[in-house]
Amino acid sequence: MNIGFLIEKGFNLYKEIEPYLSSTQKAILNKIFSNFEVVNSCTELDKYNEARIILRSAIESAVLFCYISKYPEKESEYIQDCELMEFKKHLISYKEYLRNKEIPELQETIKNIDEQKLISENENFFRILSKENQYKILSIIKEKEYKLTLQTFNKLDKYYEKKFRPFFTKLEKMYKALENFTPDIKFHMRELFFRDYNIYSQLAHGNFLSWNSKINKLDKLEIISTIKRILFIPYLILKNKQIMVSEATLKELSTAIDIIEQSI
């Protein structure tokens, strides 16, 4: 099953909207369409379960896009939290080093790792963080300047383990914040979140029966239905903000959907 034609028409829809979007919204949309390209590669090879797993990621991004579109004030928080997640990666490398340092069987491997290099990389990354995040980290470690020591590491490790919960990782909370939209948006959002996302999550987590059931026509139509929702829900959110596209573009997208559904 080739859905390239559908992806192209969906891309054209958002191309018209692009001038009204922030750079963050554009980045999220690019990620969704990148997911769609991989889904198309999977469906062309009859790898429909793999396609559904990729769509799971696209659903998460669609919900995030809608949330940021409704609450634009959360965009800066989103960027700052992404920065803090990148900072966490450097801490994880150092954490693994400290953990392995205590294991006798790994001493030969550990001696080839430059601890000071790990520390320098982390401290250098701190310097390119936003001023807000630098202040936040200094507040956590209760210091006036940042140096990665065992003491500061322990404070940051505790913060990341116990308190750091970016809003964009809380899918259900974002969904609930979008519930007070029009009935059509609410219905399709509910189907996308509670039906499609649940099914695809079971696949991603290795549900034996899901993986070993034969793909039929209804399964293929369900994939197209999910793609439709991912394409149209963000548009309907933007339409509520008086951001419109031409009738011709919408008709082309609807026609592409009809052609693919009829061909299954």
Residue 217 has pLDDT above 90, yes or no: yes
Kindly state the helix (H) or strand (E) to which residue 71 belongs, with its residue range: none
Do 213 and 247 belong to one domain? yes
Average pLDDT, the chain: 92
Residue 181 has pLDDT above 80, yes or no: no
Predicted local distance difference test score (pLDDT) of residue 236 = 87
CB 74 within 8 A of CB 28: no
Predicted local distance difference test score (pLDDT) of residue 219 = 92
Predicted local distance difference test score (pLDDT) of residue 237 = 87
Do 85 and 142 belong to one domain? yes
Choosing from 168, 197, 230, the residue where a domain stops is 168
Closest CA to 56 of 187, 168, 221, 204: 204
Do 92 and 142 belong to one domain? yes
Predicted local distance difference test score (pLDDT) of residue 166 = 94
Do 66 and 78 belong to one domain? no
Do 82 and 145 belong to one domain? yes
Predicted local distance difference test score (pLDDT) of residue 243 = 87
Do 159 and 244 belong to one domain? no
What is the average per-residue pLDDT within 156-171? 94
Number of domain units in the chain: 2
Name the percent of the chain lying above pLDDT 70: 100
Distances from the Cα of 28 to the Cα of 8, 10, 22, 35, angstroms: 17, 15, 10, 11
What is the average per-residue pLDDT within 162-180? 89
Do 36 and 121 belong to one domain? no
Which residues in 240-260 are b (16+ Cβ under 10 Å) and which e?
eeeeebeeebbebbeebbeeb
Band of pLDDT at residue 11, cut at 50, 70 and 90: very high
Residue 151 has pLDDT above 90, yes or no: yes
Q: For 38-87, write each residue's pLDDT tens digit.
A: 999 999 999 999 999 999 999 999 999 999 999 999 999 999 999 999 99
Residue 200 has pLDDT above 80, yes or no: yes
Q: For 91-109, write each residue's pLDDT tens digit.
A: 999 999 898 888 888 888 8
Amino acid at 102: E
What is the average per-residue pLDDT within 5-27? 95
Do 45 and 164 belong to one domain? no
Cα 60 from chain centroid?
Answer: 5
Kindly state the helix (H) or strand (E) to which residue 74 belongs, with its residue range: none
Choosing from 133, 168, 203, the residue where a domain stops is 168
Distances from the Cα of 186 to the Cα of 104, 178, 181, angstroms: 57, 8, 6
Band of pLDDT at residue 4, cut at 50, 70 and 90: very high
More confident residue, 139 or 106: 139
What is the average per-residue pLDDT within 7-16? 95
What is the average per-residue pLDDT within 245-253? 93
Range among 129-138, 165-174, 203-212, 242-251 with highest mean pLDDT value = 129-138
Do 182 and 56 belong to one domain? yes
What is the average per-residue pLDDT within 209-222? 89
Residue 162 has pLDDT above 90, yes or no: yes
Domain membership of residue 104 as a residue range = 74-168
Do 155 and 134 belong to one domain? yes
